[in-house]
């Protein structure tokens, strides 16, 4: 169990490293996320990891800043092999159907990982495309020099990134310290395992809703659990059986990304808050691309050794929508795998490949 938890932490770090390598246009950092014989499948870009890192770094170095936001990282480990699914929302500037414009691109990374030479690195990445929203070029606000009250550091590529300077400054100030910790090893390990189990419930719920998998949704809740979601308020197991039909009748596709997990555990009970960004392609005479930002406020309980959700309430913070523009079959996206509702989605074959 300890080795599996360590493997998960190393893999999560590699996924974060990969996103940072793209956004910073840092070829070395991106290449180091893979083993030497690693490969990628980005549709029209199917190649070795070294060629991929070079192409992506060159592409982003001359483009406006991007931001890749991986979340919902769900990892399955078996010995020295592992697979993972992670949701990604990427802000990128692309010439999909004309001049370069900002796009918010939603998709998933289906990855294979391996432990070689005492290091977990990526072996293969398969990018699965879900949705795209195109935006007009934003008006960039400017601030006078030395306006300390309203000025913030801006991101840049590679060594020009202000974040790199901040990281160096923080590292230089770091001093060794050891706090007195009264928690024994067994309690600490139980807390770590419980925390990961609770986070996995959020990923399981999101995949179940997005893939239309009622059994997967229900398995995240205790039998007597209650959910308040707005579209359905009541027993969670009834919600699991009805939500897929509701979504299929109103939407072309959906995708929920969860992050910012804050969990407080007290013995066999816990409470938590997680942020959610939900995309929904709304059907109708005038189809809409809708984005909703909010939070899940959850109560968890461990029963018979298993953590599950006992109560979930969705809190709405903001929502926006715009006329839908189908870009899934344009430009660089047209050859990419698209997500599916149901068992035909490629994540099921990936998940079962380790069994």
Q: What is the pLDDT of residue 171?
A: 63
Residues 100 and 72 placed together within one structural domain of the fold: yes
DSSP annotation string for 261-280: EEEEEETTEEEEEEEEEEEE
How would you write the pLDDT of the chain (355 residues) with one tens digit per residue? 788 888 998 999 899 899 989 998 999 999 999 999 999 999 989 999 999 999 999 988 888 888 898 999 999 999 999 999 999 999 888 888 888 888 999 999 999 999 999 999 999 999 999 999 998 876 655 656 665 555 667 788 887 888 777 766 766 765 555 544 456 778 878 888 999 999 999 999 999 999 999 999 999 999 999 999 988 899 999 999 999 999 999 999 999 999 988 898 988 999 999 999 999 999 999 999 998 999 999 999 999 999 999 999 999 888 888 898 888 888 888 899 999 999 999 999 999 999 8
Helix (H) or strand (E) holding 114: strand 101-116
Q: Residue 179 corresponds to which tokens in the numbers above?
A: 């706090």
**Residue 209 within a domain:** yes
Does residue 152 sit within a domain?
no
Residues 24 and 119 in one domain: yes
pLDDT score, position 179: 46
Same structural domain for residues 265 and 212?
yes
CA pseudo-torsion sign 88, 336, 45, 112: positive
Whether residues 329 and 271 share a domain: the answer is: no
Are 257 and 297 contained in the same domain?
Answer: yes
Assess whether 191 and 273 both reside in one domain: yes
In this structure, the answer to whether residues 319 and 214 fall within a common structural domain is yes
Q: Say if 227 falls within a structural domain.
A: yes
> Quick one: how many helices (H) and strands (E) in the chain?
8, 13
Side-chain-side CA neighbours of 36 within 13 Å: the count stands at: 2
Same domain, 238 and 209: yes
Domain-located, residue 47? yes
Domain holding 280: CATH number? 3.10.450.50
Domain count, the chain: 2
For residue 335, what are the domain limits?
Answer: 1-139+325-355
Whether 177 is in a domain gets the answer no
- Helix (H) or strand (E) holding 78, with range, is strand 67-78
Assess if residue 351 is contained within a domain. yes
Question: Do 251 and 340 belong together in one domain?
Answer: no
Q: Are residues 192 and 309 in the same domain?
A: yes
For residues 225 and 120, state if they share a domain: no
Name, in order, each residue with C-beta under 8 angstroms of 61's C-beta and a sequence gap of 6 or more: 25, 157, 158
Q: Who contacts 50 (Cβ-Cβ below 8 Å, separation ≥6)?
A: 31, 36
């Amino acid at each position: 169990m300890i080795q599996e938890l360590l493997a998960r932490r190393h893999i999560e770090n590699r996924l974060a490293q990969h996103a940072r390598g793209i956004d910073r246009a840092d070829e070395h950092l991106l290449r180091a996320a893979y083993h030497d014989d690693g490969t990628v499948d980005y549709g029209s870009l199917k190649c070795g990891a070294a060629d991929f890192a070079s192409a992506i770094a060159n592409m982003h170095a001359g483009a406006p800043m991007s931001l890749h936001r991986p979340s919902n990282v769900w990892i399955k480990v078996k010995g020295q092999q592992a697979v993972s699914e992670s949701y990604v929302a990427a802000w990128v500037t692309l010439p999909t159907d004309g001049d370069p414009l900002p796009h918010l691109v939603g998709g998933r990374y289906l990855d294979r990982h391996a432990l070689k030479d005492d290091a977990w690195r990526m072996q293969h990445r398969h990018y699965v495309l879900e949705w795209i929203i195109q935006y007009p070029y934003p008006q960039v606000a400017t601030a006078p020099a030395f306006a300390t009250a309203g000025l913030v550091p801006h991101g840049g590529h590679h060594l020009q990134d202000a974040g790199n300077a901040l990281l160096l400054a923080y590292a230089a100030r770091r001093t060794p310290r050891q706090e007195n910790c009264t928690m024994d090893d067994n309690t600490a390990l139980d807390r770590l395992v419980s925390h990961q189990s609770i986070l996995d419930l959020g990923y399981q719920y999101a995949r179940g809703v997005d893939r239309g998998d009622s059994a997967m949704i229900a398995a995240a809740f205790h039998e007597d659990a209650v959910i308040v979601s707005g579209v359905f308020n009541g027993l969670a197991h009834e919600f699991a059986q009805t939500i897929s039909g509701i979504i299929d009748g109103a939407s072309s596709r959906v995708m929920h990304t969860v992050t910012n997990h804050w969990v407080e555990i007290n013995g066999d009970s816990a409470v938590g808050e997680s942020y959610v960004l939900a995309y929904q392609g709304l059907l109708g005479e005038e189809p809409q691309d809708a984005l909703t930002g909010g939070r899940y406020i959850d109560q968890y309980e461990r029963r018979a050794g298993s953590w599950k959700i006992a109560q979930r309430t969705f809190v709405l913070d903001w929502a926006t929508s715009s006329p839908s523009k189908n870009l899934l079959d344009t430009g660089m996206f047209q050859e990419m795998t698209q997500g599916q509702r149901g068992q035909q989605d490629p994540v099921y074959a990936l998940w079962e490949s380790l069994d």
